[in-house]
Every structure is written in structure tokens, then in C-alpha cells.
Amino acid sequence: MDKNIVAFMDFIHYEKGLSTNTQAAYRRDLQKFVNYLVSERCRVYRWEDVNKKDIINFLSKEMDEGVANSTVARSFSSIKGLYKFLVGEGYIELNPTTDLETPKIRRKLPVVLSVEEVDKLMEQPDVLLPLGLRDRAMLELMYGTGVRVSELLSLQLDDINMMAGFLRCLGKGRKERIIPVNSTSIVWVERYLARSRNFLLRRNQERNLFLNAHGRKLSRQGYFKILAQYGEKSGIKKEITPHTLRHSFATHLLENGADLRAVQEMLGHADISTTQIYTHLSKSRLREVYHQCHPRA
């Protein structure tokens, strides 16, 4: 890999503390840009020679090939971050991304489950089995707190205070936040700890809260697979991913009168504009209720 990209990856890992998944996305985006530069310049390129036109042409090519707007915007963010780093460290003098605007993203409304669908999903795991009890505890905790899948699977035993009803997690950029946990989630986590975790445990020093069948930390892929299976079993005609539960958590809070700033804090959004998409969902629901119930609608 290009030595400047290696230096940048070290920077976002050690200095910025970005998550493993974000680092991997940056690496993929920048490698794709390098491949484009190499193909356009017959294997010879230097970062200081890249200009605005090169970047615009690369992003245009991505869009022409049908790459999602959100992915193109992230690619631009990766390139912009790299150049800010290179100029800041004195590797190059000029930043070609200055004055370039991020491609406009048409944000799609996320999939949200109704309260009835959430209840139906929660009933799918067989809680008489150790893995089923673990799965019910994970589903309840994810919907009950709105944590990201990476945050859920990184939870340690001491990260939940059962008595106080709070959970501590490390979000993006390793920022710590405290989230309230409802009594239902606490009950299921306590049942999992009492009846299931010791059955799965292989090493006494293991501190991860949720374990796989081999007694180790559950992987993201494993959790996605588990959730997809329960979604299919439930008969719910919606795509159910970990983010679906996070979206449902936020939407249901706002529909029941929660303050937008409080929801932003619980979700760990740096910018409130990210949280505001859920107000659009709530308005959509209001319109739906209005058209169903008003005699002249």
C-alpha cells in the first residue's frame, strides 16, 4: 500500500481512534482512488500532482458506474481526510480538495419496525436453550438502548450497571457515552448471565458479555446471520438488520414525545442533523394516521 496512505491509516487509528470498520472503509476508498490514478497516469502518480479535476473525474466515474451516493460521498470524505493529513504533516503544500463540496446525498428513510413487529421478533428465540436465551437478551438490549452492533458486541461484563439501570459503551472515535437501560432488557440480560453465559464460557478470564457457541466474542457476521434468521422466522415482510432495531428505538422514542437532543445523546450522533431523519419518519407516521382517521382526508 502507498506509504502516505499507511501513515494516514496509522493516524486515524492511533490519533483519531476511529473504529476498525471505519478504518477498513477508508482503506478501501483510498485504494480504489489509487487504482484510478494509476490507470489514468500509466502507473505514475504523485499526491502533490493530483488536482481537483482528477478528484471530480474519479467521483463522476463512480457515479456513472452506479455506485451509491452515500458510498461516493464517503470516498470523497476519505480523500479529503487524506489530503488534510498530508498538508498538516508537511508532506505536500497544497490541498486539492479545498473548496470542493461533498456530493449531495439523497438520504433514504430507514426501515422501521412497528411496536407489534418488535414484539413478534422478540418472541422468536427459544429461551429454553442457552443460545436462544443469549439471543433474546441481545435483541432486547439492542432495541432497548439503540446501540450499534459493534457497540453491543464489544460490551464487557462491567459495562452494565443492573442496579442503576445504565449501560456504558464506546462509540465512534472511542467516545464514551452512558445510556439508560429499561427494566425489560435488564431482566433478560440477568437471565442470560444466570442461566446461559456460564454454559457457553470456555475461559474464566473472558470478559465479553455476549459469547458465541465456542465461548468467544460473537462476530458481526454471526449477529447479522442470527438476526436474519429470526426475521425470516417471524414472517415480518421487512429487511431486518441491526440498524433496523436502532432505527426503531429512535423512532419509537420520538413518536412518544422524547426530546430530539436526548435521542441524539443516546444514539451517539455527533451532529443532530443525523438524528433529524427520525423526525421525518415520525411525520410520515403522523400523515399516515391522519389519512387513515380524518373523515375528509
Helix (H, G, I), strand (E, B) or coil at 161: strand
Q: Which residues are CB-contacts of 60 (< 8 A; sequence separation ≥ 6)?
A: none
How far is 76 from 62, CA to CA, in rounded Å?
Answer: 11
- Three cell numbers at 188? 433478560
Q: Decide if 224 contacts 218 (C-beta within 8 A).
A: no
Of 32, 220, 269, 285, the active-site residue reads 269
- In the annotation, is 83 catalytic? no
d(CA 144, CA 184): 8
| Torsional class of 165: left (φ above 0), alpha (ψ -120 to 50), beta (otherwise) | left
Neighbour tally for 294: CB within 10 Å: 8
Number of helices (H), then strands (E), in the chain: 14, 3
Amino acid at 203: R
Assess whether 269 carries a catalytic annotation: yes
Any idea what DSSP says for residue 85? H
> Out of 134, 148, 247, 252, which one is annotated catalytic?
148
HSE, CB side, 13 Å, CA atoms: give it for residue 173.
6
Cell 436502532 maps to which residue?
A: 246
**Catalytic-role residue among 136, 197, 246, 252:** 246
- Strands, sheet with 160-161, edge to edge from the N-terminal-most edge strand: 160-161, 166-170, 176-180
Q: Would you call 280 a catalytic residue per the annotation?
A: no
Q: CB under 8 Å to 195, separation ≥6 — which residues?
A: 130, 133
Annotated catalytic residue: which of 172, 177, 195, 217? 172
- Spot the catalytic one: 16, 177, 191, 243: 243
246 is catalytic: yes
Residues known to be catalytic: 148, 172, 243, 246, 269, 278
